[in-house]
Amino acid sequence: MALTRSPMTALLDLEQQMLIRAWIQGVPLAALDLDPDYPALAELAECRTRLHLKALRLDWPDPGLWLQRRTGPDWQRTALHQLDLLLRHTDLLPQTDQPLRFWVAPEMAECLAPAQLATIGDVLLRCQRDGKAWWKTITGLGRTGARRLEAGLEQLFPGKLAKAARQSLLPYETGLVPLERLLVPDNLDGSQGRNRAPATPFIPMPHDLAAIQAWLALFDPGSHTHRSYQREAERLLLWAILDRHKALSSLDATDLADYRRFLQDPQPAEVWVGPPQHKSHRHWKPFTGPLSRRSAKHAETLLNSLFTFLLQQRYLQHNPLSALPKLKDPDARSAIGTHRAFTPAQWAAITTAIEGLVRDSSGQERRKWLRTRLTLHLGYATGLRLHELAQARIGDLAAISRGEQTQHWLNVLGKGQKRRQVPLPPAVFSFIGRTYQQLAGRELLRQDPAFPLLPDLNDNGKAVTPLAIHKVMKDFFGRVADQTRADNPETAAHLARASSHWLRHTHGTVAVDSAIPLTAVRDNMGHASISTTSHYSHSDADARYDAFRHFAEPPPVHNPDLTADHVGNEKP
């Protein structure tokens, strides 16, 4: 919970009062006559937060009485007496100059304090100044936490956030902005592009941006495919307009050759490159860094699909990419991702670190690390892609009886909108259930099927975005790198580069090394071809290394104390 209830409403209703009295008296929640679907643990935590905040506002003796159960009959008598007094006592009316800690749960106040947000007014001003993206630069807050905080502020101060809502409307502009906000100059919109076909196109699109949108409309808007295709079209269109000063439909083979080089070194970097950000963020950039040759080749494959579509629809006369020689990837035959996988020792360091963070944290911070631990083990056990992890739902879990055995599977909508089933080993399924109980306060299989498997930290049923998972995992791997740097700088450098996608590569590597058939690994990971899966096999390389292990060995040194300097000064 982010904020307490409005002072105009009762602090606790009768059922909530029953819950808090049972908690004080040590009565197990299971002994209460509650609806099986009633989220008793989450409701109890919210009630305790409300009582703590009201006691704090009224300068009550020992406001922390409600944050942790204490032992002994004296505490029970004191707590029950204080409960009756708090419920009867008139509350403060909210004012914008009051401290945030009067109205905001302790962990939320701690999160906002480093951003110099100490009062209600500070938050309102930030919202009005930066619009809906006001929370983006606040570490640990997140979209969901921000929206819940806004909802609480709206309840306390009706209408105060209206100005922020108006300011959040992002204008169209000609500049380095996402496709959705791009205002293309009339002379560069492609309506008179040099490569436009003379015949009437099959798609009645007057300019390049509309033609791109017609191509993107072929794909499911919520799919990973749509996001990937839009990203590459967006990058090319922005580069054509802002760097080449040409319409997309005027680009020729020479331009595309230059764009190929640009992908592998986007310059000027301060203009084109930045950290991953949501598209509504004012510091969003099209690139997070130079593309590898493999990534650049993939980008050209997607753009070739765009140009082929426009050619087939008689929008363009020819495909300018077709004149370029195929981009060679020197690493194409190397084992994909094996250099981006964790060794057993590194995985042990990772799991030890996350257990420590879970053990040593509390409140919202502990929930964050619980979910991070769930992401780690789910990614390691299943090899899911990042967007597959983010979109997994409770309803995607399936149980299949095989005699006396029950198998647990996860239904996945993968790349190219292809469905597959991924097995969940018994230990992994039990671990998911235990962690979900800790995070959501209810049993996994009694939850709404539409709820995400990686639950939102504020328990509102919304999915965590792939970008949010990426950022949390990068932060976590960076922490582990810092912990190992003194003892093992090489491992630390490896972990510092790690991302959530490394879990997928680790899954593939470990599965193949465990002699699981390549066909099973292929089906698990959703590869289109067994040749892709075979890259995770090290057997040929290991055999070749063993064959040459003793090849061309130098003669043994008979005097082990003889150093190189001595050898250089030896008399003949």
We report the CATH number of the domain holding residue 434 as: 1.10.443.10
Least confident interval from 25-29, 109-113, 225-229: 25-29
The confidence score (pLDDT) of residue 152 equals 79
| Residues 63, 55 contacting (CB under 8 angstroms) | yes
The confidence score (pLDDT) of residue 405 equals 83
Residue 440 lies in a domain: yes
Looking at residue 189, its amino acid is D
pLDDT tens, residue by residue, 481-496: 999 898 888 888 889 8
Residue with tokens 């647990």: 408
The confidence score (pLDDT) of residue 564 equals 45
Q: Which two tokens stand for residue 389?
A: 């992890």
Is the pLDDT higher at 466 or at 290? 290
What is the spatial distance between Cα 232 and Cα 321, in angstroms, rounded to a whole number?
A: 14
Q: Which two tokens stand for residue 379?
A: 């990614």
Residue 293 lies in a domain: yes
What is the spatial distance between Cα 304 and Cα 299, in angstroms, rounded to a whole number?
A: 9
- pLDDT above 50 (res 569): no
Segment 547-571 mean pLDDT: 54
Residue 527 lies in a domain: yes
Residues 350 and 496 placed together within one structural domain of the fold: yes
Residue 479 lies in a domain: yes
Residues 404 and 315 placed together within one structural domain of the fold: no
Reduced to 3 states (helix: H, G, I; strand: E, B; else coil), residue 486 is coil
Residue 315 lies in a domain: yes
| Residues 518, 512 contacting (CB under 8 angstroms) | yes
Of 297, 338, 293, 341, the C-alpha closest to 535 is: 338
Q: Tell me whether residue 506 is exposed, middle or buried, using C-beta atoms within 10 angstroms of its C-beta: 0 to 12, 13 to 18, 19 or more.
A: buried
Residue 158 lies in a domain: no
Segment 167-194 mean pLDDT: 82
pLDDT tens, residue by residue, 492-510: 888 988 888 899 888 888 8
Residues 319 and 344 placed together within one structural domain of the fold: no
Work out the mean pLDDT of the chain and round it to a whole number.
82
Segment 166-184 mean pLDDT: 75
Helix axis angle for 293-312 and 224-242, nearest 10°, is 90
Cα→Cα distances 516→225, 236, 247, 343, 426, Å: 29, 42, 51, 18, 17
Segment 289-300 mean pLDDT: 91
Segment 167-185 mean pLDDT: 77
Domain count, the chain: 3
pLDDT tens, residue by residue, 37-78: 667 787 888 888 888 888 888 888 788 887 777 877 788 888
Segment 365-371 mean pLDDT: 88
Residues 480 and 525 placed together within one structural domain of the fold: yes
At 356, is the pLDDT very low, low, confident or very high (cuts 50, 70, 90)?
Answer: very high
pLDDT tens, residue by residue, 243-257: 999 999 999 999 999
Residues 376 and 296 placed together within one structural domain of the fold: no
At 236, is the pLDDT very low, low, confident or very high (cuts 50, 70, 90)?
Answer: very high
| Residues 363, 68 contacting (CB under 8 angstroms) | no
What is the spatial distance between Cα 99 and Cα 229, in angstroms, rounded to a whole number?
A: 47
The confidence score (pLDDT) of residue 565 equals 46
At 3, is the pLDDT very low, low, confident or very high (cuts 50, 70, 90)?
Answer: low
Range of the domain at 40: 14-118+131-152
What is the spatial distance between Cα 386 and Cα 227, in angstroms, rounded to a whole number?
A: 13
| Residues 300, 321 contacting (CB under 8 angstroms) | yes
| Residues 306, 205 contacting (CB under 8 angstroms) | no
Reduced to 3 states (helix: H, G, I; strand: E, B; else coil), residue 401 is strand
Q: Tell me whether residue 246 is exposed, middle or buried, using C-beta atoms within 10 angstroms of its C-beta: 0 to 12, 13 to 18, 19 or more.
A: middle
Segment 471-488 mean pLDDT: 90
Output the 3-class SS for 55-83.
HHHCCCCCHHHHCCCCCCHHHHHHHHHHH
Least confident interval from 42-46, 228-232, 468-472: 42-46
Segment 522-527 mean pLDDT: 81
Residues 347 and 417 placed together within one structural domain of the fold: yes
Winning range, highest mean pLDDT, from 164-168, 343-347, 463-467: 343-347
According to DSSP, residue 93 is labeled P
Q: Tell me whether residue 295 is exposed, middle or buried, using C-beta atoms within 10 angstroms of its C-beta: 0 to 12, 13 to 18, 19 or more.
A: middle
Of 332, 334, 331, 330, the C-alpha closest to 538 is: 334
Least confident interval from 190-204, 218-232, 452-466: 452-466
Residues 311 and 457 placed together within one structural domain of the fold: no
The confidence score (pLDDT) of residue 208 equals 94
The confidence score (pLDDT) of residue 278 equals 75
- pLDDT above 70 (res 555): no
Residues 314 and 345 placed together within one structural domain of the fold: no
Segment 217-233 mean pLDDT: 86
The confidence score (pLDDT) of residue 428 equals 87
Residues 429 and 506 placed together within one structural domain of the fold: yes
| Residues 274, 288 contacting (CB under 8 angstroms) | yes
Cα→Cα distances 487→353, 419, 476, Å: 15, 44, 18
- pLDDT above 70 (res 7): no
Segment 191-198 mean pLDDT: 94
The confidence score (pLDDT) of residue 232 equals 96
- pLDDT above 70 (res 162): no
Percent of the chain with pLDDT over 70: 84
Residues 356 and 293 placed together within one structural domain of the fold: no
According to DSSP, residue 287 is labeled B
Helix axis angle for 344-359 and 466-484, nearest 10°, is 100
Residues 312 and 428 placed together within one structural domain of the fold: no
Cα→Cα distances 224→167, 214, 338, 388, Å: 30, 17, 23, 9
- pLDDT above 50 (res 36): yes
Q: Which two tokens stand for residue 114?
A: 């480093």
According to DSSP, residue 4 is labeled P
Segment 202-230 mean pLDDT: 87
The confidence score (pLDDT) of residue 13 equals 81
- pLDDT above 50 (res 1): no
| Residues 320, 251 contacting (CB under 8 angstroms) | yes
The confidence score (pLDDT) of residue 8 equals 46
- pLDDT above 70 (res 223): yes
Residue 553 lies in a domain: no
Strands 419-424 and 405-413: antiparallel
Strands 397-402 and 405-413: antiparallel
What is the spatial distance between Cα 31 and Cα 42, in angstroms, rounded to a whole number?
A: 17
Residues 345 and 380 placed together within one structural domain of the fold: yes
Residue 398 lies in a domain: yes
The confidence score (pLDDT) of residue 372 equals 92
